[in-house]
Amino acid sequence: MNQNELKQQVAKKAVEYVLNNVAKDQIIGVGTGSTADLFIDELAKVKSHIKGTIASSERTKARLESHGIAVFDVNDVVSVPVYVDGADEIDPEGNMIKGGGAAHTREKICASIADEFVCIADASKEVAILGAFPLPIEVVPLSREAVARQMRELGGNPIWRMNADGSPLITDNACHILDVHGLHITEPLALEIQLTIIPGVLTVGIFAQNAADVALIAAADGVNVVNF
Ligand SMILES: O=C(CO)[C@H](O)[C@H](O)COP(=O)(O)O
C-alpha cells in the first residue's frame, strides 16, 4: 500500500470517527494538508450529519465550500467537539510538529477551541522524538532575521521557506515561514513556550499545548486508534 492509499484509508476512518463520536448538527474543525484534503472529500459524502465546519486555511475553506459544506468564521464559534487534522510528526505522547503546509497558526487556533484533537496520519509520521522534520515557525516578516539568529543560538539551522518559483512563501496571515533544521525536541511543551515568546514569532509548529487526544494511524495492516 503506498502513502496515498494509507492517507485514503485514514481519511475514511476519520469520517467514521466523526459519525460515531459527534452528535448530529454540530460544527467540526478541519485541518490542512493532503490527508485533510482526503478527509474533506470523504466528509462531503456524509455532510448532512454536520451543521458545518471551521477551516484552518484558505485552501481548506475553498475545498469545503466546493463540496457545499458550510464554513463558519472562527470568531462566531465558541467550541467544536472535534478538530481533525494531519501532522508532520507525532511522538508517543501525542505531541506534534505541524506547519508543513504553512497553516499551523490557524490550525492551532482551531485546535485551541476543540474538545478533542483527532490526528490523522500514516505510520511514517510516528517518531520517538520530534525534530527530524524541520520545525516551521511563522514569523512577522520584519522579525525574520532576528528570530533566525535566536534559532542559530539554540543550535538550529533556520531556512526561509520559498515557493517553487523562488519567491518568499506568504502565509494566509501575510507572514513568512522559517523551517528550523537540526533540533532534537526532547521537551516539546517547554520549547513551544520558549519560542512562542520571541518577539515577531506568530506561531511555532510544535503542538504540545494543543497535542493530539486521539491519533488514527494508517499502516499496511489497517488503521490503529491511539488514545493519549
Ligand atoms: O500541518 C500541516 C499543514 O500546515 C499538515 O497537517 C501537515 O503538513 C501534514 O500534511 P500531509 O497530510 O499533507 O502529510
Strand-pair category, 206-207 with 201-204 = unpaired
pLDDT at 44: 98
How many helices (H) and strands (E) the chain has is answered by 6, 14
**Annotated catalytic residue, options 5, 89, 107, 192:** 107
Ligand 1 atom closest to the CA of 100, numbered from 1: 8
Q: Which pLDDT value is given to residue 85?
A: 98
From the list 74, 130, 63, 62, the residue with the least C-alpha distance to 107 is 74
CA-wise closest residue to 16 among 227, 223, 226? 223
Is 153 catalytic? The answer is no
Instruction: Give ipTM to 2 decimals.
Output: 0.98
Q: Which residues form ligand 1's pocket by a CB distance below 6 Å?
A: 31-35, 85-88, 98-104, 107
From the centroid of its chain, how far is CA 154? 24
CA dist., res. 164 & res. 43, Å (int): 30
Q: For position 1, what pLDDT does the model report?
A: 83
CB-based burial, 132-143: b 16+ in 10 Å, e otherwise: ebbbbbbbbeeb
Looking at domain 3-127+209-227, which of 3.40.50.2000, 3.40.50.1360, 3.40.50.170, 3.90.180.10 is its CATH number? 3.40.50.1360
Q: Please give the number of the atom of ligand 1 that sits closest to the Cα of 122.
A: 14
Residue 101 Cα to ligand 1 midpoint, Å, equals 5
Mean pLDDT by 10 residues, the chain (228 residues): 94 98 98 98 98 98 98 98 98 98 98 98 97 98 98 98 98 98 98 98 98 97 96
Q: Relative to the CA of 103, which ligand 1 atom is closest?
A: 4
Q: 59, 64, 45, 39: which is closest to 103 by C-alpha?
A: 59
User: What is the CATH code of the structural domain delimited by 135-205?
Assistant: 3.30.70.260
Ligand 1 centre from 100 Cα, in Å? 5
CA–centroid distance, 112 to ligand 1, in Å, is: 17
Gap from CA of 98 to ligand 1 centroid (Å):
6
> Which residue CA neighbors atom 6 of ligand 1 most closely?
86
Is 123 buried (19+), middle (13-18) or exposed (0-12) by CB count in 10 A? middle
One fold for 3-127+209-227 and 135-205 = no
Break the chain into its structural domains and give their ranges. Answer: 3-127+209-227, 135-205
What is the identity of the amino acid at 69? I
Name the residue of 3, 35, 127, 161 to mutate for ligand 1: max ligand atoms within 8 A of Cβ. Answer: 35
